[in-house]
Structure 1
Amino acid sequence: MKTPTKIIRTDKWQLNPTPDQKLLFGETVKVYRRACRYLVGIIYTHWSELGELTADQLTPAVERLMHETQSRPNIKYPQFNKAFYKFPSYYRRAAIAFAAGQVSSYVTRYREWQSGTRKRRNASPPRINSDTGCYPALYKGQCYKLHGFDQVEIKVFNGSDWVWTTVQITGLRERHQVASNKMLSPSLIFNERVCHLSVPFSCKPEKRKPEANVTAVDLGINTTATISVVTHSGTVIHREFIHPGRDIDRRDKRLKSVSMRASKTMGKGGQLYKGFCSKTYLKAARINNKIGHVVSKRIVQIAERFNSEAIVFENLKGWKPKGGRKRSNLRQRFHGWLKGKIREFTEMKWAELGGKVIEVVAAYTSKLAYDGSGTVKRNSNNYALATFPSGKRFNADLNGAYNIGARGILKLTRRNDSGGRSSKSTGRSPRSWACLCDLWTLRSSKLA
């Protein structure tokens, strides 16, 4: 029996600290990071013994080295208790877990480098990073106390002692309202720009009783996503086009400015300096993330509305775009094609609701007419328009979405060996190249 995948999702709870509380949060993060740096040195020194222990065994083993108690007065590193006076035990254990992770990662990467597993032949050896931008993990009751969902009490460092302070929660999402979700230990994220709690949840979706339909998605560059909801009988009960043009224009405008600035920087020759337009690229990447979330959210909403069995995508792994004509922007448009990001975000959101995502063969989804009349002809002036052999004009992306939905249904019901589609050895098109008309054929054969 297949073990179900553990689903962990994280919410951001916005905090509204006063100026005095901001100083307390800053001191808390600062002393926590100092403790982590100190512990990285201890753990790395004794990694030959500590590396073989489990996570539950490692924490007490490290504490025996550096935490003095009444029953354990003689320890190897007494400086820790002096440097971090009254350091809370649960903050200490969180810091030990983080430091052990840093050391384990470094040791693994260094061994790989020694064995010759390198990106480049002359790659430098990895370095242990003890000066990390980590944030303190909070344990319930010991480091934080919730007062409803309006206020949270957090144990903070005021420079000489650890005290409790109550801060307002001003922004929440909805995962805490789901009864089957289990809230895990949050982290206090604080710096010059942000202040919030990063709250992970272990999600356990309820068992679904879906309807006999699938939500098919055709990802393109003319239209970001074309959606069709197809039933097992081949009836299309919903179709929709999703194309956040405003965000796409914002991204493309920024990327276009890069080439203009590059020509002014280099002139007719020369090279660009390292990190050229890095902030512009970072902004474009953030816009891409937003587009991916907007499109995937709408896809999941449609699948949830129609209670679909699955969301169906084309298998585009390894697909590489071909450049267009000279001075064409087709190659640049393909670079902005978010096929992987949208699929990944959709799968994450849909899995949280207990749904599944399947992939079908991408070949000829848009090239074959959904009515079985043959190969379509694309309009040279408007590539989104397709003409069927019968003379019918239809949206090429929507035609592809219909065929994707049909292939998804046949994959779910294990009926790929349909009457009108046989293997290549028979001279007919492959079974995996099914179209919407194959569902109609199956329905007719059932009724006959």
Structure 2
Amino acid sequence: MQQTKTIKNKITSHSSKTFEPTLAIYRKALSFLVDVINTEWSVLENLSTKELVNAVEKLTHHTKTNPCPKYDFDATFYKFPSYLRRAAISKGYGIVKSYRSNYQNWLDEKSESIVNGKHFKKKPPVLTVKHQAFPVFYKGNMFKQVSDNQAKIKVFLGNDWVWVTITFHHKNLKNRGIAGWKENNPTLVKTGKKYFIHFSYEKKIQLNKTKLKEQVIVSVDLGITNSAVCCAMRSDGTVIGRKFINQPVEKDRMYTKINKLKKAQRHSGYVNAPNYWRRINGLKKHIVHHTSSEIIKFAVDHQADIIVFEYLGKMKHPEGMYGAKKLRHKVHHWSKLGIQRKVEEMAHYKGVRIRRVSAKYTSALAFDGSGEVKRNHKKDLAAYQNDKVYHADLNASYNIGARYFIREFLKSFSEKKRLLLEAKVPSLVTRTRLTLASLISLHQALRTNGA
């Protein structure tokens, strides 16, 4: 599979005033081209990207062989670099194609509602002409590397397109000793009041194809108190490693900022408070990145082939119980999906696959098969029916890993063999009540059958 990385290099030699005119004129040109492509869509929609770029240039760009274009782009954007114009055309094509696709989906949804006799209230999508896009600098024509931390770029300055030598913080994959990544054309990006040169790298990565019986997985239980609890497990249910990941200092700071913001809003009504949100979001981002990197380190240390998560998309917030409002507030700031997305991105760089299982009853059932547990949420403990006490999140991580292996084993068997195994191990019938004990029983049944 194709993977992409982006390295951000801060420009240190020039102020933002140097690049503001370039960004403004590029966005203005993009708006012009988006309008042209949308107007001529009936002619352009069936063309390939290369054919479309040539067709739009014939409609907008003045040449000897094309003295009277239908839309005079050059009159408004004099001496606009050709490669930057083609980059804007490609970007504009993507914008219009996305809008047209969304509009067609809206029409289909509307017609379906009318046929079914339903009242359709959804508003149609609107084409946005103005976009916060950033220009791509093609190497050789718009960008020339002078040294490791210096380059010449063509910018719009003093009503003309001129070459400017910039100095930037030098960070790239080659210096990090990572081979095989192809460096693409850089992009000029504005973040806040500062400008950066972004280099994107791409590489074709082969994900591992380890046989199921030889796999080592890392099952992850994401939580609010502990950001993540991981366990490394073999296919026979042997647990070979455990890890608790948490950021108590960052979480305490975040909840303190949130409570201060709530107090200000109670006294003054709605408060925008950008500084509060900047700090809250910064702490949330740190928690996501730190948790993700620790999960990946744990997986690499145990040479894991798969990382298994729970499906945590739509969750019902608790109501009617003591402390439900406070818990709902914590769940609202829980970056569960952000951690999963970041881990998936980082895992694919290592060739590690990602899998997900149902979250139902993973924490409610004891991993030893003794039945449902009683939770002590203050201490994150689970009391089993056989009087054993164990860590609730670690218990859940065992069940998550077991569910993955059981699902994959049963999926590879014929219907006849699966029914035979379910007769020997009755707990396999109910998929949402599978535990680590179920996996161990399945492994013993397979050994008895010689599988």
TM class, shorter-chain normalised?
A: 0.7 to 0.9
- Which whole-Å CA distance do the structure 2 matches of 1:100 and 1:24 have between them? 29
Secondary structure in 1 matching 2:253: helix
Partner residue in 1 for 2:312 = 316
**Cα shift at 1:343:** 1.5
Q: CA deviation at 1:94?
A: 0.8
Task: Identify the residue that residue 165 of structure 2 maps to in structure 1.
Answer: 166
**Alpha-carbon spacing, 1:221–1:365, altered in 2? closer, same or farther (3 Å):** same
* Structure 1 SS opposite 2:96: helix
Query: How far off its partner does 1:137 sit?
Result: 1.0
Q: Does 1:49 align with 2:46?
A: no
Query: How many Å separate the matches in 2 of 1:232 and 1:255?
Result: 43
**For 2:329, what is the secondary structure of its paired residue?**
helix
Q: Which residue of 2 aligns with 1:294?
A: 290
Equivalents in 2 of 1:353, 1:127: separation in Å? Answer: 40
Give the match's secondary structure for 1:228: strand
Amino acid in structure 2 at the alignment position of 1:86: K
Paired with 1:422 and 1:431, the residues of 2 have a C-alpha distance of 11
Question: How has the CA–CA distance of structure 1 residues 432 and 162 changed in structure 2, closer, same or farther, with 3 Å as cutoff?
Answer: same
Question: Which of the numbers 261, 275, 292 marks the counterpart of 1:258?
Answer: 261
TM-score computed with the length of structure 2 as normaliser: 0.83
Secondary structure of the 1:170 match is coil
Match of 2:389 in 1: 393
Q: Could you state the TM-score of these two structures normalised by the residue count of structure 1? A: 0.84
* CA distance in 1: counterparts of 2:77 and 2:39, whole angstroms: 20
Does residue 74 of the first structure (1) align with residue 77 of the second (2)? Answer: no
- Give, in whole Å, the separation in 1 of the partners of 2:229 and 2:93: 47
Shift of 1:254: 2.5
Match of 1:343 in 2: 340
Match of 2:202?
A: 202
Looking at structure 2, the residues matched to 374 and 41 of structure 1 have their Cα atoms a distance apart, in angstroms, of 64
Q: Deviation at 1:227?
A: 0.6
Q: Describe how 1:31-46 pairs up with structure 2 within 5 A.
A: 31-46=25-40
Aligned-pair CA distance for 1:246: 2.2
Distance 2:383 2:174 in 1: 47
> 1:228-307 alignment to 2 at 5 Å?
228-266=231-269, 272=270, 276-277=272-273, 280-281=276-277, 283-307=279-303
Identify the residue that residue 132 of structure 2 maps to in structure 1: 133
Match of 1:224 among 197, 221, 227: 227
* Paired residue secondary structure (1:295): helix
1:94 equivalent to 2:57? Answer no
Aligned-residue offset at 1:215: 0.2
Comparing 281-290 and 158-167, the one that deviates more: 281-290
Q: Which amino acid aligns with 2:50?
A: D
1:431-446 map, 5 Å: 431=431, 433-442=433-442, 444=444
Q: Cα RMSD over matched residues? A: 3.4
- What amino acid is aligned across from residue 134 of structure 2 in structure 1? Y
Query: Alpha-carbon deviation of 1:399?
Result: 1.0
5+ unaligned residues in a row in structure 1: which ranges?
267-271
Distance 1:101 1:283, change over 3 A: farther
In 1, Cα distance between the equivalents of 2:263 and 2:207?
Answer: 54
Structure 1 CA distance for aligned equivalents of residues 40 and 280 of structure 2:
44
**1:43 corresponds to which letter in structure 2?**
I
Q: 1:334 to 1:47 in 2, by over 3 A?
A: same
The 1-side partners of 2:378 and 2:418 are apart by 36
1:299 Cα deviation (Å)? 0.9
> Match of 2:299, SS?
helix
Partner of 2:370: 373
CA distance in structure 1 between the partners assigned to 2:418 and 2:343 by the alignment: 30
The answer (yes or no) to whether the contact 1:184–1:199 under 8 Å persists in 2 is yes
Task: Report the equivalent of 2:357.
Answer: 360
Confirm or deny: 8 A CA contact 2:173 2:181 kept in the other structure: no
CA displacement at 1:381 relative to structure 2: 5.1
> 2 CA distance for matches of 1:420 and 1:158?
77
Residues 293 and 420 of structure 1, relative CA distance in 2, 3 Å threshold: farther
Aligned residue for 2:116?
Answer: none
Deviation at 1:315, TM superposition (A): 2.3
Identity %: 32
Shift in alpha-carbon separation, 1:46–1:428, aligned structure 2, 3 A: closer
- Given the superposition, is the C-alpha separation of residues 192 and 441 from structure 1 closer, same or farther in structure 2, using an over 3 Å criterion? closer
